[in-house]
């Protein structure tokens, strides 16, 4: 019987412990593959593969989290850590760029301000 590894339990462990768990899970998977040839149960094999995937997922997530913290205050961030959004959104003007006005626009706004009307009720 393969014990299911819980992701929330893995998140509390450090990298060395995670690598140890990963190695154990891979050993278990290898032994189940040998048993499969001898006529073992298929469901346990799938669960063992999922356990390995869970451990690798937690390792990758924590690694990316640490990298995000490292690059938080840096000028440049690696492409895979940047916000994905869409191509159009990434190329759109920033709020500061949108608010910029040309000299001609500034003159027009100062000389011809928006008229205010008081509406009588």
Give tens-digit pLDDT for 2-15.
Answer: 788 999 999 999 99
Contact yes or no for 101/109 (Cβ under 8 A) = yes
- Angle 85-86-88 from CA coordinates, rounded to 5°: 130
Total-model pTM: 0.72
Element (H, E) at 64: helix 42-70
- Report percent pLDDT > 90 for the chain: 77
Contact yes or no for 78/71 (Cβ under 8 A) = yes
Of 20-24, 40-44, 103-107, minimum mean pLDDT range: 40-44
């Amino acid at each position: 019987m393969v014990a299911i590894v819980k992701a929330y339990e893995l998140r509390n462990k450090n990298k060395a412990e995670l690598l140890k768990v990963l190695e154990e899970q891979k050993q278990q998977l290898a032994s189940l593959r040998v048993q499969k040839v001898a006529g073992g149960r298929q469901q346990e094999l799938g669960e063992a593969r999922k356990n390995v995937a869970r451990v690798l997922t937690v390792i990758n997530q924590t690694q990316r989290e640490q990298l995000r913290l490292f690059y938080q205050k840096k000028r440049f961030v690696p492409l895979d850590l940047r916000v994905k959004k869409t191509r159009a959104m990434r190329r759109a003007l920033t709020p500061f760029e949108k608010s910029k006005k040309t000299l001609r626009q500034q003159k027009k706004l100062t000389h011809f301000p928006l008229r205010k009307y008081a509406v009588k009720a």
